[in-house]
A and B are shown apart, each in its own frame.
Chain A
Amino acid sequence: MLPVLVGLVILAVIFQALNGNFLTPGNLVNLMVQGAVYMLLAMGMVFVLLIGEVDLSIGFIGGVAGVIVATLIYGDAGNPWYTGIACGLLAGTAIGIFHGLIITIVRLPSFVVTLAGLLAWNGVMLIILGNGGTVPIQDPVIVSLANGVMPSTIGWIIAACLIVLFAADNLIADRNRRRNGNAVRAPLMTYVRIGLVAALAIAIVGLCSVNRGNFAPVTGVPWIVLILLFFVITWTVLLNRTAFGTYIYAIGGNAEAARRAGIAVGRARVLVFGISGLMGAVAGIIYASRLRSVSTNLDGGTLVLYSIAAAVIGGTSLFGGRGKAVHAILGGLVIAMIDNGMGLLGLSAATRYVVTGIVLLIAVSVDALARRGGANAGLS
């Protein structure tokens, strides 16, 4: 995880040096919001990459979910927002599970099945959109998912709760480990960890509490930050503390060993594709919410490639068995930073692609070199 953190700092320094507006509170908050779609997609991608597969379809799964939500709630006689979201999420999960079933039962490579998915769901999205080409979203709840903010006070309360929970969890875990005679990290390290998380939480809420409006005052923590937090915590707990999480790593590490250990590899694979479909749908809904509409412009292909890039830049291995949910956040942040920073500098989309490509290459190289070094030292 260290390389990507160093990368984030380097990017921040470069962009700040080139344009003094980069590290302003307004832009930093903007950054989190801009990166959200990549982060959510990349979280789904991390799961798929962990078991050594890939899912090229999640961008357009998101497109389909977004268009389902927008269509269902459209107009005066439209359904309430929660029906729309529930249907969108269900559809995304179902599509993912469907892909997983084909991959498992027919034994096809996930690359091909999800490539077919990329094409087909793009088509489905266009069919639902129909001739109009755009479905606007006016529902205040859905619009505020990506655009709304909570009052700073609530932000502070949530931050305080999370810090306390994190500290308690760490300290209790350490105490139990010590009591059982298990290996424990140095107490100082635990305090440093807690301190860093606390500092981060305080920094984010603090940053969001500064007025960032140009005309009318704007303060508060974007709801999207809470959504991201919810998913990253949920997936981290799933991966680290449940048997299913261990199975995901085991399948990525040595699928044959997992099978011999009695793990239902096929079922786990289907569920993982279900999770990636779900995250595709979440990202698609957030994307629609941010633009306040769904249109034929949605480019699920680029979104997918960016989300793979985000997962890998964050530190997840393309070859399975290594990765964390938080990698999606870090990688998504890098991508958003490049997008945002280059945009501030007035550089074209073409330049942005080139730079993103180079950063991806650097990230993969650093990862490969680190792993080789680690293997030599017997540490990898």
Chain B
Amino acid sequence: MSAPTLLSLRDIKKSFGAVQVLLGVDLDIKAGSVTALVGDNGAGKSTLIKCIAGIYQADSGQMSWEGQPVKVANPKAASAVGIEFVYQDLALCDNLDVVQNMFLGRERKRGFLLDHNAMEVAARDVLTGLSVTTVKSVRQPVASLSGGQRQSIAVAKAVMWNSKLVVLDEPTAALGVAQTKQVLALVRRLAERGLGVLLISHNLEDVLSVSDSIAVLRLGRLVTQVQRDEVDSQQLVELITTGRLRGELASDALRQAGAAAQSSTSGIEN
């Protein structure tokens, strides 16, 4: 509760023609914590993050960044604000090496020519800082890396540009057990370094093990945003599928339980 709120969304609505995808979503993301966004297929998760990324424009609603109203017109504007995205398909070039990928589009130069040395040093520093130790050489092509390593590189690429909020879309979807652990540990380290993390995932086990707060999206509405220790796996499934907890509206049930999360989601009921 003490950490400052980085990004807050109020009443975000988005429809594509006659199809209303987001019917007024409120969401708060705090610095130094991992906020998970969960929901069934079609709940509107992808649309919501695309609105944050500036790929889509919300039809209505307010978005504020560090307390100030902000408008994200395009992906470049998002990264200028300090929001970086790691998409499911990673957006890495297999034929380039780790350093080239991390600096792609923002190369360091000396005159006309690339400063390979400085970039290599910086890339290594970032990876070391994030305790990504499994990548042997930053000069190997990304094609030769494992899924977990690739994910780590994609995350490192996202955080090395003074970003304050990193949005991770299904970062563990294609990974094995050990690699999932690796990536989740990396996600925790990001939060420990003071970054805000928005984690979109279908894997509730991952969500429960790594996040501080969990936002549940259902049919275009935010059902609730709860603290991690207020729910267990069973309740989370119930929230995602029915939008209710023990047969009551989620927000009411949690209010009765005296949930602290209320203060941040009070916008829902009025």
Contacts and interface: CB of A to CB of B under 8 A. Distances in A.
B104 A246 contact: yes
Is the interface on chain B under 10, 10 to 19, 20 to 34, or 35 or more residues? 20 to 34
A114 to B, nearest CB: 24
A235 B105 CA distance: 20
B121 A252 contact: no
A380 B91 contact: no
B114 A182 contact: no
B96 A246 contact: yes
Contact of A256 (B91, B106, B112, B118): B91
B94 interface: yes
Nearest to B123: A182
Contacts of B143: 375, 380
Interface of B: 75-76, 87, 89-96, 100, 104-107, 109, 112-114, 116-118, 120-121, 124, 137-139, 141, 143-144
B171 to A, nearest CB: 16
A180 interface: yes
A261 B107 CA distance: 11
Contacts of B138: 183
Shortest Cβ-Cβ A-B pairs, 7 listed:
A261-B105, A253-B93, A253-B95, A321-B95, A257-B91, A262-B105, A261-B104
A149 interface: no
Contact of A322 (B76, B95, B112, B139): B95
A243 B114 contact: yes
B91 A182 contact: no
A263 B75 CA distance: 12
B117 A176 contact: yes
Contacts of A250: 93, 96, 100, 104
B30 to A, nearest CB: 27
Interface string A94-119: 00000000000000000000000000
Contacts, number: 82
Nearest to B138: A183
A252 B91 contact: no
Interface residues of A, number: 30
A242 interface: yes
A250 B101 CA distance: 8
A180 B144 contact: no
A242 B107 CA distance: 9
Given A254-B92, A380-B144, 5 more contacts: A183-B137, A250-B93, A250-B100, A254-B93, A257-B93
Contact of A260 (B91, B137, B141): B91
Contacts of A177: 117, 120
Contacts of A254: 91-94
Nearest to A179: B117
Nearest to B99: A182
B93 A182 contact: no
A180 B121 contact: yes
A261 B96 CA distance: 13
Given A250-B93, A252-B95, A254-B91, A243 B121 contact: no
B79 to A, nearest CB: 8
A257 B103 CA distance: 12
B96 A241 contact: no
B144 A243 contact: no
